[in-house]
Structure 1
Amino acid sequence: MSTAAPRKPLEDIRIISLEQYGAGPFGSVHLADLGAEIIKIEDPSVGGDVGRYVPPYFEEEDSLFFETFNRNKKSISIDIKTPEGRAVFEDLVRNADAVYSNLRGDVPEKIGITYEQLKHINPKIVCCSLTGFGMTGPRMKEPGYDYVLQGLAGWMELTGEPDGPPTKSGLSLVDFSGGYVAALSLMSGLHAAARDGVGMDCDVSLYDTAMAMLTYPATWHLNAGYQPSRISHSAHPSLVPFQAFQASDGWLVVGCAKEKFWQRLAVVIGRPEWALEDSPYATFSDRNERRAELIAELDAIFATNTVDHWLSLCYPASIPCGPINDVEQALKDEHLAARNMLVETEHPRYGTVKQLASPVRVGAEIPEYRRAPQRNEHAEEILTQVAGYDAAKIAELTAAGAFGAVKN
């Protein structure tokens, strides 16, 4: 039996990343946690990744926002707009498995990071470009931001109370979902490249992601003319009840996604007759047709007691339910710690930084966590071990401005 430490799932993967802000770094941080070597190329002319300067919790080039998306990564400052910087970039590509970026749709080709532009250096390179609108189509050159796409893709019209304005999600779900899609696309590309010996482009966009996540409401509309509308209390469009209810001291969610849950809920709330075959609320269709009257009845019932009271009845009956927590309450849930979802890293400015782990799990080993890199922190390691440069070559490139303007 070998006593060697188990290898991390992706520790043999090297990714050169021109990533910035949220969506791109969010996608690659899961790969970094699984052992992939993520080499962030940061533009020295703009101070590196803009995520370093996101308020309110930032100082100089450190921010808690940046820490969230960049743990377990390495950083080097390279100005790839200069011939010397471009040469360094290509030497890194020569010894990498993938090039990853999140830029505007027309930029990857402009700066020469598509497969066609890099395959002469490394035929197996996978070039994953996460852009706002993709690398084709009439919106290709438009900048893509989460809030804009939530509106464009119809999400905001679906969100909020019926008499309120269109509302965005409380989190940047297009950005984060786009990051997951990019990571999945990149890993699929790496698998194919390892199998076939040929790399490719992965043209991933936030727009495609947001549109695809319309899922069944889109299918209903395309095939049956369904017109979505907002429903009070964040209710499901067809499953009744499945929504937020206000108790005497707060809010909870109760959902009946199966008939058995409705039958149990009817007993719990003291209305067992509502689950009988001759009840006007007996089936999914019955409850949907009589949504307004049923929800009014349920609202009145749930208002008579506390959140804890209702949960104490619903949990033992295995009815899908839960409190509507604030962020502090959510982070204190004992299940979070039990699932090893709280991460601590040590930082020279912040001391111990606490954050959430990646939900991506592969095998039984718990990932190791290292703080996000300082800008250019790993330059010497990357230039010597990946690019293969000696001290004289590094000095020559530095003088030529490959790593940023030379200070006199």
Structure 2
Amino acid sequence: MHLPLKGFRVISAEQYGAGPYGTMHLAQLGAEVIKIEPPRKGGKGGGDTARAVGPHFLSEGESLYFQSFNLNKKSLTLDLRSEEGQQVFKALAAKSHVVANNMRGDLPEKLGLTYDALKDINPALVCAHLSAYGRDNERAKWPGYDYLMQAEAGYCAVTGEPGGEPQRMGLSMVDFMTGTLFTIGLLSALVDAQRTGKGRDVDTDLLSAAVHQTSYPALWYMNEGDETSRTPRSAHPTATPSQMFKAKDGWMFVMCQLPKFWDILVDRIGREDLRDDPRFAKNADRLEHREVLTQLLDEEFLKEPMAHWQNLLAGLVPVAPVYELGDALDNPWLRTIGMRDQVPHPEKGSIDVLASPIKLDGKRLPNRTAPTLGADSDAILEDLGYSTEDIAKMRSGGII
């Protein structure tokens, strides 16, 4: 497959989730993504902190968690806090297109990862930064994580059942959203740098991304003072019925976002009388009487298992089963569309991974396993002109 980012080199001082998630998409699209990771000291530690996140490991220092964010990448161990490490880094930056990082907001400047620090050696370089709160304010030194952003951006207050305790999303969605926005900004600046020969800094932060995703409820509140709150059964705040219902063997989600779906629903389940009921004539009426409508539809849906309703409604009314995570991943449909992939692993033979959601020419992007710590250090340094003796000296000195 001809990959669109082949020939572009991205070096990234990254760790944990959000930044590596974003750069993994670049690697899957063909970019040479080189992770800069701290070297081991005294034979211990080192590497992206995600390597040590359990409970499941492929080998020492290689977790399944790490695999989730680092497919298709290379690994270079390098002490960026040392003078010699900085020399190596600048030599690499001079031959790269992007320097990325997801460090605490005050660290990129200290470690020389900004455009101002690197423009003289590579004027076309794009320097992309992903931090918790940004680099230009009083919170720049604050550490921050996804769950904190869900709390401060209001997510926990709108998730769950009315009257319950605040709830976060079950997945680290702020990390994933921010990593995606990070790559959009990075690629936009890269396109411009290719046209003009001039790079720049690009910044994204977790809190800004989290707040931006409040989207239409934000505009409702800022312009009309209408504050979106929790709804029963995870229902849509306005469209009705658009919520979870009980089937005979579990839960399902039915979404009548458009008037036509309501009409089709009552026809398909044999309850045309509900269309003629003045309490349910229009969406506003259904919203006003949502509790009663929920009870009536539950009575119908409880008569048959979820598979029956999905077969009856699929392609006509938006409907989906509410799966446990295992059932969701074992869903045969994922194999039909190619969203489950298997890649060779040197010790395990192979491991199962998720395919990229992006297709090129109708095909999923190719995957390979994440690199072991420092797996590519020698090759990268040799490409920069360092001799075998130079590399050995740097390794013994803890530079790599």
- So what's the TM-score if we normalise by structure 1? 0.93
| Structure 1 position 402 matched with structure 2 position 391 | no
Counterpart mapping for 1:179-328 below 5 A: 179-276=179-276, 279-315=278-314, 318-328=316-326
Aligned to 1:145: 145
Deviation at 1:19, TM superposition (A): 0.7
Aligned to 2:346: 348
Paired residues in the alignment total 395
Aligned to 1:388: 385
Q: Deviations over 1:296-348 (max 9, x none)?
A: 222222223221222222126x1000111112221222221122211211223
Counterpart mapping for 1:22-101 below 5 A: 22-44=17-39, 45=41, 46-58=45-57, 59-101=59-101
CA distance in 2, matches of 1:165, 1:349: 44
Stretch of structure 1 that moved more, 321-330 or 173-182 = 321-330
Structure 1 pair 364/300, CA: closer, same or farther in 2 (3 Å)? closer
Q: Deviations over 1:254-288 (max 9, x none)?
A: 01011110001111232213334x73312222212
Deviation at 1:193, TM superposition (A): 0.6
Q: Deviations over 1:25-75 (max 9, x none)?
A: 111111111111000110014411011111100242111111111111000
Aligned to 1:132: 132
Stretch of structure 1 that moved more, 44-53 or 196-205 = 44-53
Aligned to 1:3: none
CA distance in 1, matches of 2:351, 2:92: 31
| Structure 1 position 155 matched with structure 2 position 152 | no
Partner of 1:7, secondary structure, is: coil
Q: Deviations over 1:194-228 (max 9, x none)?
A: 01110011110111110000001101000111122
Q: 1:23·1:175 contact (CA, 8 Å) conserved in 2?
A: yes
Deviation at 1:400, TM superposition (A): 4.5
Equivalent of residue 375 in structure 2, options 374, 377, 383: 377
For structure 1, list consecutive stretches of 5 or more residues without a partner in the other structure. 1-5, 404-408
Deviation at 1:360, TM superposition (A): 2.1
What's the Cα RMSD here?
1.6
Stretch of structure 1 that moved more, 182-191 or 393-402 = 393-402
Partner of 2:280, secondary structure, is: coil
Q: 1:53·1:62 contact (CA, 8 Å) conserved in 2?
A: yes
CA distance in 2, matches of 1:250, 1:218: 33
Letter in 2 for 1:325: Y
Partner of 2:2, secondary structure, is: coil
Equivalent of residue 335 in structure 1, options 333, 336, 344: 333
Q: 2:244·2:251 contact (CA, 8 Å) conserved in 1?
A: yes
CA distance in 1, matches of 2:68, 2:263: 43
| Structure 1 position 103 matched with structure 2 position 103 | yes
Q: Deviations over 1:231-273 (max 9, x none)?
A: 1111110011111111121000001011110001111232213
Deviation at 1:144, TM superposition (A): 1.5
CA distance in 2, matches of 1:366, 1:23: 22
Stretch of structure 1 that moved more, 243-252 or 299-308 = 299-308
Aligned to 1:359: 357
CA distance in 2, matches of 1:211, 1:51: 26
CA distance in 2, matches of 1:50, 1:114: 23
Q: Deviations over 1:149-202 (max 9, x none)?
A: 100000000000112111011100001111111111111110011011100111
Aligned to 2:3: 8
Q: Which runs of 4+ in 1 moved over 6 A?
A: none
Q: 1:66·1:372 contact (CA, 8 Å) conserved in 2?
A: yes
Aligned to 1:406: none
CA distance in 1, matches of 2:393, 2:303: 76
Q: 1:124·1:197 contact (CA, 8 Å) conserved in 2?
A: yes
Identity of aligned residues (%): 42
Structure 1 pair 198/223, CA: closer, same or farther in 2 (3 Å)? same
Q: 1:113·1:127 contact (CA, 8 Å) conserved in 2?
A: yes
Q: 1:105·1:135 contact (CA, 8 Å) conserved in 2?
A: yes
CA distance in 2, matches of 1:183, 1:132: 16
- So what's the TM-score if we normalise by structure 2? 0.95
Letter in 2 for 1:381: A
Structure 1 pair 389/7, CA: closer, same or farther in 2 (3 Å)? farther
Structure 1 pair 366/308, CA: closer, same or farther in 2 (3 Å)? closer
CA distance in 1, matches of 2:110, 2:288: 55
CA distance in 2, matches of 1:150, 1:308: 34
